[in-house]
Amino acid sequence: MSLPQTPTGGAPRLRRGALALTAVALSFTALTACGAGNNAQSLGVKPDNPAVTVDTLSVENANIITQPKPGQAGPAAVSVTIINKGTKAQTVESIAVQDAGPVKLTPAKGAGPVVVPAQGIVVIGGKGNGTAVIEDGAALTQDLGGVRKISFGFSETGEVKLDAFVVPAESYFKEYGPSSAPSPAPAAPKPAASASTGPSGEASGEPGAPASDEASQPATTG
């Protein structure tokens, strides 16, 4: 007994049907993703910005933001988000950038250290947040578009290291970056012209100065 034969053109017809089903499935997946919103966590997508977690502390979105042009003088800044899921507050004791000068840490309000509260979040960089500034950031501009190693020192967790992107203070990063390079100080005013000496050797007044009363009165004889 012979097996039934596939009609002519049957295989291509089956392939077309399978492709159609695949397209429907992909469309359904895309719609489901859209329904989940743009939250990267809900879509299972990790952000491109460098991030690391040590124990209960997460350091995310670390960037080194410099002046816009290579070689341009001026400060640089570090922007970062620190998430503390622990039960103890942690102090940011230091930030160090590879082959760069010291980083000055300033809290969002008042004086003192930058503290990440227990079960809390601290953002460094941007309006209303704490700051981390490198006064001389000109050398960092040579790495624009690249990465540099950066380390954070915490009171409880200790040292946390990761690679941070070096980006210019433009577009999205402009509000998180450093201030512009300081303007040159205005030139000091020139001193007033001193009294000139006349042909007789006596000092003469400035041009246009009125004569004194004694010089204008005639001399009297005794």
* Highest-pLDDT range among 1-10, 47-56, 132-141: 132-141
Q: Cβ(70)–Cβ(144) under 8 Å? A: yes
Counting the structural domains of the chain, the total is 1
Sequence-distant (≥ 6) Cβ neighbours of residue 148 within 8 angstroms: 64, 97, 98, 99, 100, 140, 163, 164, 166
Q: Is residue 19 part of a domain?
A: no
Q: Is residue 46 part of a domain?
A: no
Average pLDDT, the chain: 74
CA distance 160 to 49: 16
The model's pLDDT over 165-203, given as tens digits with 9 standing for 90+, comes to 999 999 989 988 886 544 444 555 666 655 554 455 454
Residue 126: predicted pLDDT: 92
Overall average pLDDT of the 68-83 stretch:
95
Q: Is residue 141 part of a domain?
A: yes
Residue 96 burial (C-beta neighbours within 10 Å; 0-12, 13-18, 19+) = middle
Q: Is residue 55 part of a domain?
A: yes
CA distance 28 to 22: 10
Buried/exposed 59-69: b ≥16 CB within 10 Å, e otherwise: bbbbbbbbbbe
Overall average pLDDT of the 44-55 stretch:
69
Take residue 203 and report the two structure tokens written for it: 């000092």
Residue 219: predicted pLDDT: 46
Q: Is residue 1 part of a domain?
A: no
Greater confidence (23 vs 43) lies with: 23
Q: What stretch of H or E contains 90?
A: strand 90-97
> Structural domain of residue 60, as residue ranges?
51-175
CA distance 107 to 85: 20
Residue 191: predicted pLDDT: 62
The model's pLDDT over 99-122, given as tens digits with 9 standing for 90+, comes to 999 999 999 998 899 999 999 999
Res 39 pLDDT > 90? no
Residue 43: predicted pLDDT: 30
The CATH code of the domain that includes 88 is: 2.60.40.1890
CA distance 65 to 96: 14
Residue 189: predicted pLDDT: 60
Q: Cβ(95)–Cβ(105) under 8 Å? A: yes
Residue 216: predicted pLDDT: 44
Residue 116 burial (C-beta neighbours within 10 Å; 0-12, 13-18, 19+) = buried
Greater confidence (48 vs 84) lies with: 84
Q: What stretch of H or E contains 12?
A: helix 10-35
Q: Is residue 7 part of a domain?
A: no
Beta bridge partners of 218: none
Q: Cβ(58)–Cβ(83) under 8 Å? A: yes
Q: Is residue 71 part of a domain?
A: yes
CA distance 67 to 73: 7
Q: Is residue 119 part of a domain?
A: yes
